[in-house]
Amino acid sequence: MRLALRGRAVVPRALSLGTWEALRGYLFVLPALVGLGLFVYRPLLSTVRLSFFDWNMVSPTMTPVGWDNYVELIQNPVAHKALVNTAVYALWLAVLVLVLPTVATIGLAYLRGRWRQSLRVALFLPNIISLATASVIWLWIYNPIGGFLATVWDSLGWFPVNWLSNPKTALGAVAVIVAWKAFGYNFLLLTAGLSGIPHEVVEAARVDGADGIALWRYILLPLLGPTMVFVLSATLLMSAEYVFTPVHMLTEGGPVNATTNIVFEIWRQAFRWFRVGYSSAIALVVFILFLVITTVQMLVSERVVSYEER
């Protein structure tokens, strides 16, 4: 410990100054390391251990099964369907919460006055409600009898669609719910990134003859690249984080496993069918998969995006 003597900090004789400075740095991060170990790495190690057992969370004994849970995961068609649905769902979100907010940011950049501020607030408002509330709102919108979309379809002379009960539309309908909830946050990030581009760069480009589409294509969008990469990274994580609530509340993975995904499958195997070992195997494979995707994405983004000061 450090001793205070006449207003000066004295380092104990047993420690050199360099050693004490290094130790002090570790002491500052110790609370974070303890929390990380208790709530991240300890559960991760428990998941690895449980994946080699057959246990129902009730029995006092766990039956070792070796690699059987992983073999079943490879051979199970429901697991394959969940993985494919997760990938398709991520693509849906990439379009809905990256491309569309970028288009909205470009469009509102040309508006002036109170309309621009009002539209920004309106686009951000869904972000402040919970995902459960958003799911209930869209349950009414999707209602084939008296719902908003059913009313619009009827006014156009079309037959109403049961969006959540049709295997062809259910997954896209769930993705729209999550995109509506997350749209405002990504829009805010992209707007902030656009506002951070120096006006001198834009004015210099206009003096050189760049305007309209050319200005966005060669100047603004490349400078907005770091923000777009961050939004894309958050979208990939969101595809796993935000998918459980609407699926659990509205579809239960149906119809015919059309909306099941890896996160919902982990929960269903563990807490509905009490197959903790098999659920742990799925969770571990998902962890490794996302670790690989995140690593590749970081390597690619470092090559294609420049974060140098502008």
Domains of the chain, start order: 77-304 (1.10.3720.10)
Give 258's DSSP letter.
Answer: S
Which residues, 6+ apart, have CB-to-CB distance to 222 below 8 Å? none
**pLDDT at 256 exceeding the cut of 70:** yes
- List, for residues 47-61, the tens digit of each pLDDT value: 999 999 999 888 888
Residue 62, Cβ density class (10 Å: 0-12 exposed, 13-18 middle, ≥19 buried): middle
Q: State the Cα–Cα distance between residues 128 and 10, nearest whole angstrom.
A: 51
Amino acid 6: pLDDT: 47
- Identify the H or E element spanning 235: helix 225-241
Cβ(293)–Cβ(236) below 8 Å: yes
**Residue 205 above 50 pLDDT?**
yes
What pLDDT is recorded for position 48?
92
CB 4 within 8 A of CB 10: yes
Which residue type sits at 143?
N
Stated as kind and residue range, the H or E segment containing 161 is: none
| CB-CB contact of 73 with 309 (8 Å) | no
Residues contacting residue 105 through CB under 8 Å, at least 6 positions apart: 187, 190, 191, 194
**Distances from the Cα of 74 to the Cαs of 65, 68, 70, 71, 89, in angstroms?**
15, 10, 6, 5, 21
- pLDDT per residue over 76-133, tens digit each? 999 999 989 988 988 888 888 888 888 888 888 777 777 778 888 888 888 888 889 9
The C-alpha atoms of residue 76 and residue 285 are separated, in whole angstroms, by 14
Cis amide bond preceding 255, omega within 30: yes
CA–CA separation, 25 and 65 (whole Å): 44
Residue of higher predicted confidence among 251 and 305 = 251
Task: Provide the b/e sequence for 128-154 (b: ≥16 CB within 10 Å).
Answer: eeebeebbebbeebbbbeebebbeeee
Q: What pLDDT is attached to residue 307?
A: 46
Query: Average per-residue pLDDT in the chain?
Result: 83
Mean local confidence (pLDDT), 254-262: 89
Using one digit for the tens of pLDDT, what is the confidence trace for 126-164?
Answer: 888 888 999 999 999 998 888 888 888 888 878 878 889
| Residue 1: predicted pLDDT | 41
